[in-house]
Structure 1
């Protein structure tokens, strides 16, 4: 098993290219199941989760080919020969549930294992299932599998989500493109990944209005055709690397960065005293002076502060001047990185969904363990500003969401290496 060793090495300087969004790509890939014509994605990230989705689609009979060193994914579902998504693949990643809507919409039946893939809360799929039932699907849960059928095809309906769910919005949106009649999704997610999926589906011939708002209207069509679509910039990778110079000092330009993807996050960084400048290539982030100020953060659905940047933001606030309060409203169990940061000398008090962080002058390097994807990178960020050496174990979590993290941070002057655990 690998470890990442980070040694505090002072201010950072240079450029970091930002990849295509993992969460967008994992949503776009199942869209191939909606058509018998080719779908090609460009600007794809090179991550283990993408390989897991590739394996899942191939198990269903789709052809999936990785081109240009993995940055182009060419897919075709002209000959689907299996409608069972097996537990052995689905358990690795929650996004696997996104094959359910497309298969059901296109062929009227699907059997999909209940997913796994994360330790940060229950994240039930009941909203996905209720949305499909609102479109006429007949569902039965047996032995850990969802058995779904729509003998006469899905039908348009009104889906009102009791709370915002990105995954359920995505599944319902894809299913509705081939449903008979009009489907209205109320209290829909507004994330950039939802907008990106809608734009790809529109290129394939779907009739969708209202993406990016809380009400999306879909007029079903008889069939979708092929398309080529670039994956949107990964706003979570962007925010993560924006925090690197904020934590370690210096100035870094994030190539391909867009402020509109992270406005609430950018506002919090600026409130903390970090400078953000838009350039013709992306965003430039600089920390001037000796440090940052404490700020309070509450995670919210887009366009609020992303839950997927809460752990990384906590790493920054560990050395901020003052006391910060972070409130996690999206997922339970999402402060598992706090005890590991405390091993590095951070002062953090967790009560339920709230963490109070009292800034300390200096973190100290220590052996720490990654508990999930975003926690793993928060520990690496903390290590950039810590005195001495930080050894991060269980970094396989990292490979699910960040490509070439060592190379990208090395490129701006970080002292970081990936080694085999002794």
Structure 2
């Protein structure tokens, strides 16, 4: 058994999945309603932010996913009480923060990369932070250099050992002038969570400005932080002496909403995604429409459906917000296998995010991955040294196969492919999907999917 399978099983256990495998009888349109709760990429960071406060915080619309379980366990190891006070509601009380044993942190972290964001808050609260080797989805190089360089700029001392990384701040943390080499979401979150209690003013250039970042800033402002978002990706943070707890409803999960939209398109289905909002999905909605998909905007969600006419090929370039999210391209590629003509997806954020296409090719898709990317006179996103491109020619009939899930978004894409394909597919490592998709098995059942579990 490899470590990926172990991680999948741990994730499955956290959310109550009974099996590591699912058997899907495909070829049936998905129809019905799914409810999308708070974003994985916000809720977990909001939980970490609670560590900065002197009083309890109340977080609403928290998704029941395994990454939330990871953060809950880590906070508990540091003495933060995390109590479920209602459906999707957590009360986080940091008043008894204490040092945790390294072996506890290492065991709890599992495959998540969330622990790196504990650094700043722990340095403020305890004067040190111990971070294990980081896991996460295997989609390419996700260096922590941006994080460590930023923390050093604040005055942290970083020591690497066989256990992982130990950080200390003997002279406290001071405001800094930081310019990120790339508008990394994680590094931007790191700076925000560190700067709010650092002495003096921090200027962050080339910051990420994703909606989840803006929601985290809103939370920190509720806590007492002073943060100004300037034009051209510049953020100023004035350090304050203390922060109070917050009450906040998490932004909806854009990635889950887009994934169900692509599932509707690929399976010729009709799915109402309750909780989805137009503003945060505008870039995705444009591409969805260009492919030939239909959507109706409602006050309480968005209906995504296949119109019954042939889908059209598109050219997509992933980019940081407000561009087309890298997390959106994988589910969309499954739908593009059913479009008439040649589609191209330029992946500019991660250099190894097309590994999931191997399974699609085995299922009958016509996809060629260009490891060095493709030149194009119509490109709008600047080329990056590690980018790749996928050329998808369709429509192709997909057939059932045995598939092993490699990562979170690729895994959900494999589910979509199995649901689209004629015949039976066995999909293993499904626990990884529970890292970011709440109750996805129940939702598949509600949408009429034909599946069963395999021991």
- Is this a same-fold pair by TM over 0.5? yes
Alpha-carbon displacement from aligned partner over 1:310-350 (angstroms, at most 9, x marks no partner): 21111111121101111111112211211111121111111
Shift of 1:56: 1.0
Q: Which runs of 5+ in 2 are unaligned?
A: 1-18, 372-387
Partner Cα separation in structure 2 for residue 278 and residue 211 of structure 1: 31
Q: Please, which of 371, 390, 398 is the counterpart of residue 425 of structure 2?
A: 390
Q: Does 1:210 align with 2:229?
A: yes
Shift of 1:185: 1.0
Task: Specify the alignment match of 1:13 in structure 2.
Answer: 31
Shift of 1:9: 4.4
Q: Does 1:267 align with 2:286?
A: yes
Q: Please, which of 339, 342, 348 is the counterpart of residue 323 of structure 1?
A: 342
Task: Specify the alignment match of 1:362 in structure 2.
Answer: 397
Preserved CA contact (<8 Å) 2:364 2:396:
no
* CA separation of 1:199 and 1:213: change in aligned 2, threshold 3 A: farther
Aligned residues: 419
**What pairs with 1:45-194 in structure 2 (closer than 5 Å)?**
45-69=63-87, 71-82=88-99, 86-194=105-213
3-state secondary structure, aligned to 1:117: coil
Partner Cα separation in structure 1 for residue 362 and residue 214 of structure 2: 40
Q: Does 1:241 align with 2:260?
A: yes
Partner Cα separation in structure 2 for residue 84 and residue 354 of structure 1: 44
Preserved CA contact (<8 Å) 2:111 2:135:
yes
Of stretches 42-51 and 32-41 in structure 1, the one that deviates more from structure 2 is 32-41
Partner Cα separation in structure 1 for residue 395 and residue 305 of structure 2: 21
Shift of 1:116: 1.4
Task: Specify the alignment match of 2:443 in structure 1.
Answer: 408
Shift of 1:229: 1.0
Q: Which runs of 5+ in 1 are unaligned?
A: none
Alpha-carbon displacement from aligned partner over 1:238-265 (angstroms, at most 9, x marks no partner): 0001112211123221111112212221
* CA separation of 1:7 and 1:142: change in aligned 2, threshold 3 A: same
Task: Specify the alignment match of 2:299 in structure 1.
Answer: 280
Alpha-carbon displacement from aligned partner over 1:113-133 (angstroms, at most 9, x marks no partner): 231122111211110111112
Q: Does 1:201 align with 2:209?
A: no
Task: Specify the alignment match of 1:36 in structure 2.
Answer: 54
Q: Please, which of 23, 29, 43 is the counterpart of residue 25 of structure 1?
A: 43
Task: Specify the alignment match of 1:335 in structure 2.
Answer: 354
Partner Cα separation in structure 1 for residue 121 and residue 134 of structure 2: 16
Partner Cα separation in structure 2 for residue 358 and residue 51 of structure 1: 40
Q: Does 1:304 align with 2:323?
A: yes
Partner Cα separation in structure 1 for residue 318 and residue 187 of structure 2: 19
Partner Cα separation in structure 1 for residue 314 and residue 178 of structure 2: 37
Partner Cα separation in structure 2 for residue 148 and residue 288 of structure 1: 55
Partner Cα separation in structure 2 for residue 407 and residue 9 of structure 1: 19
Task: Specify the alignment match of 2:6 in structure 1.
Answer: none
3-state secondary structure, aligned to 2:187: helix
Task: Give the alignment's Cα RMSD to 1 decimal.
Answer: 1.7
Partner Cα separation in structure 1 for residue 418 and residue 135 of structure 2: 30
Partner Cα separation in structure 2 for residue 336 and residue 193 of structure 1: 26
* CA separation of 1:264 and 1:63: change in aligned 2, threshold 3 A: same
Of stretches 60-69 and 301-310 in structure 1, the one that deviates more from structure 2 is 60-69
Preserved CA contact (<8 Å) 1:272 1:293:
yes
Preserved CA contact (<8 Å) 1:21 1:235:
yes
Partner Cα separation in structure 2 for residue 206 and residue 42 of structure 1: 20
Q: Does 1:252 align with 2:271?
A: yes
Shift of 1:308: 1.1
With the length of structure 1 as denominator, give the TM-score of the two structures: 0.95
Q: Does 1:348 align with 2:367?
A: yes
Alpha-carbon displacement from aligned partner over 1:221-241 (angstroms, at most 9, x marks no partner): 000011111111000000001
Preserved CA contact (<8 Å) 1:64 1:73:
yes
Task: Specify the alignment match of 2:384 in structure 1.
Answer: none
Partner Cα separation in structure 1 for residue 277 and residue 323 of structure 2: 16
Preserved CA contact (<8 Å) 1:95 1:167:
no
Preserved CA contact (<8 Å) 1:141 1:147:
yes
3-state secondary structure, aligned to 1:291: coil
Partner Cα separation in structure 2 for residue 285 and residue 118 of structure 1: 28
3-state secondary structure, aligned to 1:261: helix
Preserved CA contact (<8 Å) 1:194 1:212:
no
Task: Specify the alignment match of 1:225 in structure 2.
Answer: 244
Shift of 1:144: 4.1
